[in-house]
Amino acid sequence: MKPELKRAYDSGKLILFAGAGVSRNLGLPEWHELITHLAHELGYDPQIFNAYGTHLSLAEYYKQKKGSLGPLRSWMDREWHRPDIDVRSSEIHTMITQGDFSRIYTTNYDRWLEMAHDAHNVPYYKVANAADLVSLTENRRHIIKLHGDFDDDTSIVLDESSYFERLYFDSPLDIKLTHDVMGNSVLFIGYSISDFNIRLLFYRLTKIWGRTGLSSARPTSYLFTNRTNPVAKEVLGQWGIEMIVSEEDNPRKALGDFLAELIA
Protein backbone atom coordinates (compact mmCIF):
# COMPACT_ATOMS: atom_id res chain seq x y z
CA MET A 1 0.00 0.00 0.00
CA LYS A 2 1.40 3.38 -1.00
CA PRO A 3 1.85 5.58 2.10
CA GLU A 4 0.51 8.69 0.29
CA LEU A 5 -2.69 6.86 -0.66
CA LYS A 6 -3.16 5.54 2.87
CA ARG A 7 -2.63 9.04 4.31
CA ALA A 8 -5.22 10.50 1.92
CA TYR A 9 -7.70 7.83 2.97
CA ASP A 10 -7.01 8.19 6.70
CA SER A 11 -7.43 11.97 6.48
CA GLY A 12 -10.78 11.75 4.65
CA LYS A 13 -9.29 13.21 1.47
CA LEU A 14 -9.87 10.26 -0.85
CA ILE A 15 -12.75 10.09 -3.33
CA LEU A 16 -13.73 6.68 -4.70
CA PHE A 17 -14.52 6.32 -8.40
CA ALA A 18 -16.25 2.98 -9.15
CA GLY A 19 -16.43 1.53 -12.65
CA ALA A 20 -18.02 -1.44 -14.38
CA GLY A 21 -15.56 -3.89 -12.88
CA VAL A 22 -17.10 -3.30 -9.44
CA SER A 23 -20.53 -4.39 -10.68
CA ARG A 24 -19.09 -7.19 -12.79
CA ASN A 25 -18.09 -9.11 -9.69
CA LEU A 26 -21.83 -9.62 -9.12
CA GLY A 27 -22.11 -11.45 -12.44
CA LEU A 28 -23.80 -8.64 -14.36
CA PRO A 29 -23.91 -8.83 -18.18
CA GLU A 30 -20.93 -7.44 -20.07
CA TRP A 31 -20.99 -5.14 -23.09
CA HIS A 32 -20.80 -7.94 -25.64
CA GLU A 33 -24.03 -9.37 -24.20
CA LEU A 34 -25.68 -5.97 -24.61
CA ILE A 35 -24.56 -5.79 -28.24
CA THR A 36 -25.88 -9.32 -28.84
CA HIS A 37 -29.26 -8.23 -27.49
CA LEU A 38 -29.28 -5.15 -29.74
CA ALA A 39 -28.49 -7.33 -32.75
CA HIS A 40 -31.30 -9.75 -32.02
CA GLU A 41 -33.77 -6.92 -31.45
CA LEU A 42 -32.86 -5.41 -34.83
CA GLY A 43 -32.67 -8.69 -36.76
CA TYR A 44 -28.89 -8.85 -37.22
CA ASP A 45 -26.37 -11.57 -36.72
CA PRO A 46 -24.47 -10.45 -33.56
CA GLN A 47 -20.99 -10.92 -35.05
CA ILE A 48 -21.87 -8.94 -38.15
CA PHE A 49 -23.66 -6.24 -36.15
CA ASN A 50 -20.70 -5.84 -33.78
CA ALA A 51 -18.42 -5.12 -36.74
CA TYR A 52 -20.55 -2.14 -37.78
CA GLY A 53 -19.39 0.19 -35.00
CA THR A 54 -18.67 0.87 -31.34
CA HIS A 55 -21.23 0.09 -28.66
CA LEU A 56 -22.06 3.82 -28.62
CA SER A 57 -22.82 4.02 -32.33
CA LEU A 58 -24.74 0.73 -32.27
CA ALA A 59 -26.87 2.03 -29.41
CA GLU A 60 -27.40 5.24 -31.39
CA TYR A 61 -28.56 3.16 -34.37
CA TYR A 62 -30.92 1.21 -32.11
CA LYS A 63 -32.39 4.46 -30.79
CA GLN A 64 -33.00 5.74 -34.30
CA LYS A 65 -34.66 2.51 -35.40
CA LYS A 66 -36.78 2.03 -32.27
CA GLY A 67 -37.57 5.69 -31.64
CA SER A 68 -36.08 5.68 -28.13
CA LEU A 69 -33.82 3.75 -25.77
CA GLY A 70 -36.77 2.99 -23.48
CA PRO A 71 -37.15 -0.73 -24.36
CA LEU A 72 -33.40 -1.25 -24.12
CA ARG A 73 -33.22 0.54 -20.79
CA SER A 74 -36.04 -1.69 -19.46
CA TRP A 75 -34.25 -4.84 -20.60
CA MET A 76 -30.99 -3.67 -19.05
CA ASP A 77 -32.74 -2.83 -15.79
CA ARG A 78 -34.16 -6.36 -15.60
CA GLU A 79 -30.89 -8.07 -16.55
CA TRP A 80 -28.70 -5.89 -14.33
CA HIS A 81 -30.97 -6.43 -11.30
CA ARG A 82 -31.84 -10.10 -11.42
CA PRO A 83 -33.55 -11.35 -8.24
CA ASP A 84 -30.94 -14.10 -7.78
CA ILE A 85 -28.21 -11.51 -7.11
CA ASP A 86 -27.48 -10.88 -3.43
CA VAL A 87 -25.32 -7.79 -3.02
CA ARG A 88 -24.60 -8.76 0.59
CA SER A 89 -22.52 -11.65 -0.76
CA SER A 90 -20.20 -9.19 -2.53
CA GLU A 91 -17.14 -8.59 -0.38
CA ILE A 92 -16.16 -5.66 -2.60
CA HIS A 93 -19.51 -3.88 -2.18
CA THR A 94 -19.46 -4.53 1.55
CA MET A 95 -16.00 -2.98 1.93
CA ILE A 96 -17.02 0.04 -0.13
CA THR A 97 -19.94 0.70 2.20
CA GLN A 98 -17.72 0.31 5.26
CA GLY A 99 -14.93 2.48 3.89
CA ASP A 100 -14.48 6.10 4.88
CA PHE A 101 -15.39 7.73 1.56
CA SER A 102 -17.41 10.96 1.73
CA ARG A 103 -17.88 10.83 -2.06
CA ILE A 104 -18.37 7.88 -4.36
CA TYR A 105 -18.54 8.70 -8.05
CA THR A 106 -19.60 6.05 -10.56
CA THR A 107 -20.27 5.71 -14.27
CA ASN A 108 -22.46 2.64 -13.62
CA TYR A 109 -26.21 2.85 -14.26
CA ASP A 110 -27.16 0.03 -11.89
CA ARG A 111 -28.37 0.45 -8.31
CA TRP A 112 -26.05 -2.00 -6.61
CA LEU A 113 -23.96 0.62 -4.82
CA GLU A 114 -27.11 2.12 -3.36
CA MET A 115 -28.57 -1.31 -2.54
CA ALA A 116 -25.34 -2.30 -0.78
CA HIS A 117 -25.58 0.82 1.38
CA ASP A 118 -29.22 0.01 2.14
CA ALA A 119 -28.30 -3.58 3.04
CA HIS A 120 -25.63 -2.40 5.48
CA ASN A 121 -27.66 0.54 6.85
CA VAL A 122 -25.20 3.18 5.65
CA PRO A 123 -26.98 6.49 4.89
CA TYR A 124 -26.27 8.27 1.61
CA TYR A 125 -27.57 10.76 -0.94
CA LYS A 126 -27.93 9.61 -4.53
CA VAL A 127 -27.12 12.26 -7.12
CA ALA A 128 -28.12 11.49 -10.72
CA ASN A 129 -29.25 14.91 -11.97
CA ALA A 130 -29.16 18.60 -11.10
CA ALA A 131 -32.33 18.40 -9.00
CA ASP A 132 -30.63 15.96 -6.62
CA LEU A 133 -27.98 18.57 -5.79
CA VAL A 134 -30.48 20.90 -4.14
CA SER A 135 -30.98 18.89 -0.95
CA LEU A 136 -27.37 17.72 -0.43
CA THR A 137 -25.78 18.17 2.97
CA GLU A 138 -22.50 16.90 4.38
CA ASN A 139 -24.05 14.67 7.04
CA ARG A 140 -24.02 11.58 4.82
CA ARG A 141 -22.15 10.08 1.89
CA HIS A 142 -22.76 11.29 -1.66
CA ILE A 143 -23.12 8.68 -4.43
CA ILE A 144 -22.86 10.59 -7.71
CA LYS A 145 -23.92 8.76 -10.89
CA LEU A 146 -22.15 10.61 -13.69
CA HIS A 147 -23.57 8.52 -16.53
CA GLY A 148 -27.11 8.36 -15.24
CA ASP A 149 -29.39 6.03 -13.37
CA PHE A 150 -31.97 3.42 -14.36
CA ASP A 151 -34.59 5.40 -12.43
CA ASP A 152 -34.34 8.23 -14.99
CA ASP A 153 -34.22 7.27 -18.69
CA THR A 154 -33.17 10.78 -19.74
CA SER A 155 -30.07 10.69 -17.53
CA ILE A 156 -28.50 7.55 -19.03
CA VAL A 157 -25.39 7.98 -21.18
CA LEU A 158 -25.51 4.98 -23.51
CA ASP A 159 -25.80 6.15 -27.13
CA GLU A 160 -23.36 8.25 -29.11
CA SER A 161 -25.32 11.51 -28.86
CA SER A 162 -25.60 11.41 -25.05
CA TYR A 163 -21.94 10.44 -24.79
CA PHE A 164 -20.84 13.39 -26.90
CA GLU A 165 -22.94 15.69 -24.71
CA ARG A 166 -21.06 14.41 -21.66
CA LEU A 167 -17.72 15.31 -23.26
CA TYR A 168 -18.44 19.00 -22.69
CA PHE A 169 -18.04 18.45 -18.94
CA ASP A 170 -20.25 21.45 -18.22
CA SER A 171 -23.27 19.94 -16.46
CA PRO A 172 -24.00 20.68 -12.78
CA LEU A 173 -22.68 17.21 -11.90
CA ASP A 174 -19.45 17.96 -13.75
CA ILE A 175 -19.06 21.21 -11.84
CA LYS A 176 -19.47 19.31 -8.58
CA LEU A 177 -16.94 16.73 -9.74
CA THR A 178 -14.38 19.38 -10.64
CA HIS A 179 -14.86 21.05 -7.25
CA ASP A 180 -14.48 17.77 -5.33
CA VAL A 181 -11.48 16.53 -7.29
CA MET A 182 -9.55 19.78 -7.03
CA GLY A 183 -9.11 19.34 -3.29
CA ASN A 184 -8.89 15.56 -2.96
CA SER A 185 -7.13 12.50 -4.25
CA VAL A 186 -9.20 10.10 -6.36
CA LEU A 187 -9.02 6.32 -6.38
CA PHE A 188 -10.31 4.59 -9.52
CA ILE A 189 -11.38 0.96 -9.17
CA GLY A 190 -13.10 -1.28 -11.69
CA TYR A 191 -11.92 0.74 -14.69
CA SER A 192 -10.06 -0.25 -17.81
CA ILE A 193 -6.72 1.46 -18.20
CA SER A 194 -7.87 2.59 -21.65
CA ASP A 195 -11.16 4.15 -20.43
CA PHE A 196 -11.52 7.34 -22.46
CA ASN A 197 -13.72 9.09 -19.89
CA ILE A 198 -11.06 8.94 -17.20
CA ARG A 199 -8.27 10.00 -19.49
CA LEU A 200 -10.22 13.00 -20.80
CA LEU A 201 -11.34 14.03 -17.32
CA PHE A 202 -7.81 14.16 -15.96
CA TYR A 203 -6.44 15.79 -19.06
CA ARG A 204 -8.92 18.62 -18.50
CA LEU A 205 -8.10 18.82 -14.79
CA THR A 206 -4.40 18.95 -15.62
CA LYS A 207 -5.09 21.97 -17.82
CA ILE A 208 -7.09 23.64 -15.04
CA TRP A 209 -4.30 23.11 -12.50
CA GLY A 210 -1.79 24.39 -15.04
CA ARG A 211 -3.67 27.67 -15.41
CA THR A 212 -3.57 28.23 -11.65
CA GLY A 213 0.22 28.11 -11.59
CA LEU A 214 -0.04 25.75 -8.60
CA SER A 215 0.38 22.38 -10.28
CA SER A 216 2.77 21.21 -7.58
CA ALA A 217 -0.06 21.41 -5.01
CA ARG A 218 -2.28 19.03 -6.94
CA PRO A 219 -3.22 15.87 -4.99
CA THR A 220 -2.08 12.61 -6.58
CA SER A 221 -4.81 10.27 -7.82
CA TYR A 222 -4.63 6.52 -8.29
CA LEU A 223 -5.93 3.81 -10.59
CA PHE A 224 -5.96 0.26 -9.27
CA THR A 225 -5.50 -2.60 -11.74
CA ASN A 226 -4.05 -6.09 -11.95
CA ARG A 227 -2.73 -5.57 -15.48
CA THR A 228 0.74 -4.10 -16.02
CA ASN A 229 0.89 -1.49 -18.78
CA PRO A 230 4.02 0.68 -19.01
CA VAL A 231 2.51 2.88 -21.73
CA ALA A 232 -0.57 3.69 -19.66
CA LYS A 233 1.61 4.24 -16.59
CA GLU A 234 3.61 6.92 -18.40
CA VAL A 235 0.62 8.63 -20.05
CA LEU A 236 -1.59 8.64 -16.96
CA GLY A 237 1.36 9.78 -14.85
CA GLN A 238 1.62 13.07 -16.74
CA TRP A 239 -2.01 13.73 -15.81
CA GLY A 240 -1.51 13.10 -12.11
CA ILE A 241 -2.72 9.49 -11.97
CA GLU A 242 -0.46 6.88 -10.43
CA MET A 243 -1.11 3.23 -11.30
CA ILE A 244 -1.27 0.65 -8.53
CA VAL A 245 -0.72 -2.79 -10.04
CA SER A 246 -1.58 -5.99 -8.18
CA GLU A 247 0.27 -9.21 -8.93
CA GLU A 248 -2.93 -11.21 -8.33
CA ASP A 249 -4.30 -12.64 -11.60
CA ASN A 250 -7.92 -12.86 -10.42
CA PRO A 251 -9.33 -9.30 -10.73
CA ARG A 252 -12.00 -9.86 -8.07
CA LYS A 253 -9.53 -11.18 -5.49
CA ALA A 254 -7.01 -8.49 -6.42
CA LEU A 255 -9.51 -5.71 -5.78
CA GLY A 256 -10.88 -7.34 -2.63
CA ASP A 257 -7.40 -7.72 -1.12
CA PHE A 258 -6.52 -4.14 -2.03
CA LEU A 259 -9.67 -2.63 -0.48
CA ALA A 260 -9.26 -4.73 2.66
CA GLU A 261 -5.75 -3.34 3.14
CA LEU A 262 -6.85 0.22 2.39
CA ILE A 263 -9.76 0.41 4.84
CA ALA A 264 -8.16 -1.70 7.56
Strands of the chain, DSSP E: 14-18, 103-106, 124-127, 141-145, 185-189, 221-225, 241-245
pLDDT at 79: 87
Give the single-character DSSP code of 220.
P
pLDDT grade, residue 112 (50/70/90)? very high
Spans of all domains in the chain: 3-27+88-263, 31-80
Task: Assess contact for 15 and 188: CB atoms under 8 A.
Answer: no
pLDDT at 8: 92
14 pLDDT above the threshold of 90: yes
When comparing pLDDT for 75 and 202, which is higher?
75
pLDDT grade, residue 214 (50/70/90)? low
- Give, in order, the Cα–Cα distances in Å from 62 to each of 26, 38, 41, 110: 27, 7, 9, 21
Distance (Å, whole) CA 112 – CA 192:
20
pLDDT at 241: 84
pLDDT at 224: 93
Rounded to two decimals, the pTM is: 0.88
* Average pLDDT over the chain, rounded to an integer: 86
- Give, in order, the Cα–Cα distances in Å from 245 to each of 42, 120, 185, 194, 231: 41, 29, 18, 15, 13
212 pLDDT above the threshold of 70: no
260 pLDDT above the threshold of 80: yes
pLDDT at 245: 92
Distance (Å, whole) CA 49 – CA 39:
6
- Residue-wise pLDDT tens digits, 139-164: 899 999 988 888 877 778 888 888 88
pLDDT at 16: 95
pLDDT at 213: 66
Residues 40-46: contacts with CB within 8 Å, 24+ apart?
41/66, 41/71, 41/72
Task: Assess contact for 166 and 157: CB atoms under 8 A.
Answer: yes
Distance (Å, whole) CA 83 – CA 172:
34
Task: Assess contact for 59 and 158: CB atoms under 8 A.
Answer: yes
Task: Assess contact for 42 and 49: CB atoms under 8 A.
Answer: yes
Side chain identity at residue 203, one-letter code:
Y
pLDDT at 125: 93
**Averaged over 173-188, what is the pLDDT?**
85
CATH topology of domain 3-27+88-263: Rossmann fold (3.40.50)
pLDDT at 244: 92
Q: What is the largest CA-CA distance in the chain?
A: 55
